[in-house]
Structure 1
């Protein structure tokens, strides 16, 4: 670190990079932007000017050679995540990877192998875990206040028109890893998994309802969990009224969240069961005011790095989410239920989310 601040560089200066830059600026007391990297140098220069970044590089290799960085944020297209993250690990530089961290389960396991050979770590962006509402819900569940989890709903019903898919890298398994299951709904069902824990079995369907895409534009899944809970997951890009909804029915209360791309405390609703009024007070008592987002996760990451501990969300933990995505595709395209652990390394749906190909390919 320089002057007790973490030196952070952003690789890939497209739209999502602004959320990362904003998060670093929000943590200015302990982090600073020192570099911007993009293969399009003019774009990197414009980004650096906007965010007052002192150095611009045409490649990650040149950034790492300069030796002036503690944490790299990867904001490049998903197909580049593994080689770039592996390059950071080889240089023993920590790396924060945008979603989805890899295009396949096998790629994630390959990156785990590289991480084991490095003193650095890979952290995956799943920022919805870090809003104070989700943190409080996990606390109450762990403390037994809510009772057993019984039923959950997870709906990412968004809208993307045909023009959205006009970019050649969109709507492909090769570059994006999949459709709304991998690129859109993954944030919501990662939050679901962070609350309910390991999943056990999934039965799913996927369809191309309306969009000019090689992937699905809708998927639906029924999921059972190790703790006995059951959940439904919907991922859609054909829904004009856009919303992101989660609902958790416990023995003692229902917790509901409705938002779009990020939430605050007021987006949560807690409904106690009969004679369970204490749940509402347990929810609201000294509830911190932390919206979900990149700033919340970056703060947690910097806390962990300072303490010398594993930063959230590590690759090994994100694997639960990526494996569920792979299993949704495998179940949908083979018309069979898939259990966690069933997709062995090197198998069709571990190598590629779409396996041999979608039925409409």
Structure 2
């Protein structure tokens, strides 16, 4: 069986980043067979830039091609569920940008579609990939870090009105949310990845920075299943941009690196409680091999999964935890109450958190 998988990228704004970082550097793993976009100028530009043999504005045309193994979706958020369902039904593996869906119900539907298809669906959480966060994960998994105590997660970015000139941004119907869904979702996924599931959340959300429908300032207090406490904050009105996790465990304190759009990268501060802990960490990481950053690391890991050599590196269950957190955030902000997780079909926002969905239900 050939090691090379044929991939088509759909939606070439974000999708171009997938090509540049994750596909082109690995010709021994990926063949970029086609690109697809409704913007003909962007489509032609990307196809010419990378010498792609096929370009199209028709998604159905891609699905009809038997030589394409993987559909990589970088389209606007509101399109993800429909396109993913069609791709799985056509027998394609799928890579899908965040957010995977606009409700927990939709995520559960996608999980069932993936199961029935026999194909893999991998949501994109590229911030997990970087040697800083991966070393922290290994230390935690090895039991060296000990009991989790407290965490802080800051997503303090800047977005001006020019950012919202893209017509689908800033709207509930098309972006599905604001700073929670489009920006902080990565850091919040990293929190789950390193400190485990959330048990309870109290949140506030508001719009203060730009004239948009969705939230751009949020803050929350979390209790994790482990008993650890976490404070989250996110804004699009910071004059200096920060993506920072600081996680305090019994034996180690971790603090993420300074790269705003790749906080999984080194250097991370890994501060052991004493020399004995330091020696254990040194021994654990002695033979550590770099994983590749962002899309490169995640697509490398996905390639291994496609060949049956490793599990799917990011799963629909991971996306569900991420969207469950966002759903609880919106519900708490609306009601002024604590919200307990996990959330099931009986939760009032199981089928969606957007105001238009609430009005439709009423």
| Bin for the TM-score computed over the shorter chain | over 0.9
Superposition pairs for residues 238-253 of structure 1, below 5 Å? Answer: 238-253=237-252
8 Å CA contact 1:148–1:250 kept in 2: the answer is yes
8 Å CA contact 1:173–1:353 kept in 2: the answer is no
Partner of 1:232: 231
Cα distance, 1:348 vs structure 2: 4.1
Structure 1 stretches of 4+ with a deviation exceeding 6 A read none
| CA distance in structure 2 between the partners assigned to 1:201 and 1:173 by the alignment | 25
SS at structure 2 position matched to 1:329: helix
What is the root-mean-square deviation of aligned Cα atoms in Å? 2.0
8 Å CA contact 2:131–2:291 kept in 1: the answer is yes
Cα distance, 1:286 vs structure 2: 3.5
Partner of 1:170: 169
- Call closer, same or farther: CA 1:108–1:251 in 2, change over 3 Å: same
**What TM-score, normalized by structure 2, do the two folds share?**
0.92
8 Å CA contact 1:157–1:244 kept in 2: the answer is yes
Partner of 1:340: 341
| CA distance in structure 2 between the partners assigned to 1:144 and 1:33 by the alignment | 41
Larger mean Cα displacement after TM superposition, 80-89 or 129-138: 129-138
Superposition pairs for residues 246-285 of structure 1, below 5 Å? Answer: 246-258=245-257, 259-263=259-263, 265-275=265-275, 276-278=277-279, 281-282=282-283, 285=286
Partner of 1:116: 115
- Call closer, same or farther: CA 1:284–1:312 in 2, change over 3 Å: closer
Larger mean Cα displacement after TM superposition, 259-268 or 136-145: 259-268
Partner of 1:182: 181
- Call closer, same or farther: CA 1:34–1:213 in 2, change over 3 Å: same
Superposition pairs for residues 289-300 of structure 1, below 5 Å? Answer: 289-300=290-301
Larger mean Cα displacement after TM superposition, 163-172 or 72-81: 163-172
8 Å CA contact 1:200–1:225 kept in 2: the answer is yes
8 Å CA contact 2:133–2:264 kept in 1: the answer is no
SS at structure 2 position matched to 1:277: helix
Cα distance, 1:309 vs structure 2: 5.4
**Structure 1, gaps ≥5 residues long:** none
Instruction: Find 1:17's aligned residue among 15, 18, 27.
Output: 15
- Call closer, same or farther: CA 1:357–1:283 in 2, change over 3 Å: farther
| CA distance in structure 1 between the partners assigned to 2:133 and 2:264 by the alignment | 10
Map Cα deviations across residues 180-225 of structure 1 (whole Å, 9 max, x no partner): 1010000011011011122111110001122111111111111111
8 Å CA contact 1:70–1:94 kept in 2: the answer is yes
| CA distance in structure 2 between the partners assigned to 1:356 and 1:67 by the alignment | 39
**What TM-score, normalized by structure 1, do the two folds share?**
0.92
Length, aligned pairs only: 355
Q: Does 1:83 align with 2:82?
A: yes
SS at structure 2 position matched to 1:266: coil
Map Cα deviations across residues 106-147 of structure 1 (whole Å, 9 max, x no partner): 221222222222121211000122222222211211211111
**Structure 2, gaps ≥5 residues long:** none
| CA distance in structure 1 between the partners assigned to 2:159 and 2:340 by the alignment | 31
8 Å CA contact 1:103–1:175 kept in 2: the answer is no
Partner of 2:49: 50
8 Å CA contact 2:130–2:266 kept in 1: the answer is no
| CA distance in structure 1 between the partners assigned to 2:267 and 2:9 by the alignment | 31
Partner of 1:321: 322
